[in-house]
Amino acid sequence: MKIILLIIVFCFSITGLSLSQSLTPLKLSDIKKESLEIVNPVIKAGSSDYKKELSDQIFVTYSYIQNLGNFKDYYSDGQGFMLNYGKYFPNSWLAVVRSGYFKQNFKVDVDSGGFNNFNYIPIHFGGRFYVYKNVFMPYFSFMNGINIISATDFVGDVNHDDETTVKYAFQVGFGFDVKFTRNFGVNASINYNNSFWEDSDPGIGQEGKMMTGFEYVGGLVYNFNR
């Protein structure tokens, strides 16, 4: 009888040990660990998705223009700023409208043929095509519209009238955006500008002057989170 009781106790002890071992992974601390292991990759993925998102944006840019052609004979360079708004269209397009203020600098060694004060307000629209979307986002762009030009104080002829005119302009170029956070980043681009200014007039010996030049741009970007 004692032997039977010892066998029964031994069997129960083995059964209890096996049961306790099988329940060990279900401890509360282990459940928490398993839950965190499931959630963490999702959180990490969600926090980095913004790097690959293109969204509506506002950006302020400063431009330096290196003039070319006949226009450069009178105006050495130009500077200005732009306020831009971009509207996102799937999957890689940004429609852009912009306006700002620019000033062209008259050459100091020229004694006639241009205006001391040459300013214009651009009103342009166009778009960008992004070739890659991540923290670094390169793109190609095309813009066109009008320049509202104001030119005063003609050099070499005090009787020359001041001029205010509206001329067509276009621009092609490439650039990139870089995101630092979900909402903020920087922009840089290089563009070729072309705007009508003066038509040639052989009767008075006037050469045509197209406002052509390379434009170097840098600015700050605010992205509207989608």
| pLDDT (tens digit per residue) in 19-71 | 444 444 545 455 454 444 444 443 443 455 767 788 899 999 999 999 998 88
Displacement of CA 54 from its chain's centroid (Å)? 10
pLDDT confidence bin for 173, thresholds 50/70/90: very high
Whether residues 209 and 145 share a domain: the answer is: yes
Q: What is the pTM of this model?
A: 0.74
- Give 128's contacts (C-beta < 8 A, 6+ positions apart): 86, 93, 94, 96, 139, 140, 141
Whether residues 121 and 182 share a domain: the answer is: yes
Whether residues 13 and 111 share a domain: the answer is: no
CB atoms near residue 49 (< 10 Å):
10
Report the alpha-carbon distance of residue 146 to residue 125 in Å, rounded: 9
Range of the domain at 36: 2-49
Looking up residue 176, the CATH number of its domain turns out to be 2.40.160.20
Residue 90 burial class via C-beta count within 10 angstroms: exposed 0-12, middle 13-18, buried 19 and up:
exposed
Whether residues 76 and 177 share a domain: the answer is: yes
Whether residues 107 and 165 share a domain: the answer is: yes
Report the alpha-carbon distance of residue 98 to residue 85 in Å, rounded: 6
Whether residues 82 and 152 share a domain: the answer is: yes
HSE-CB for 87 with a 13 A CA cutoff: 6
Whether residues 9 and 111 share a domain: the answer is: no
Q: Where a domain ends, among 49, 64, 83?
A: 49
Whether residues 77 and 27 share a domain: the answer is: no
Residues 174 and 189 sit within 8 Å (Cβ to Cβ): yes
Whether residues 199 and 93 share a domain: the answer is: yes
Whether residues 61 and 33 share a domain: the answer is: no
pLDDT confidence bin for 138, thresholds 50/70/90: very high
State how far the alpha carbon of 176 is from the alpha carbons of 84, 107, 135, 180, 218, in Å: 15, 32, 10, 13, 10
Residues 199 and 170 sit within 8 Å (Cβ to Cβ): no
Domain count, the chain: 2
Whether residues 113 and 216 share a domain: the answer is: yes
Whether residues 29 and 140 share a domain: the answer is: no
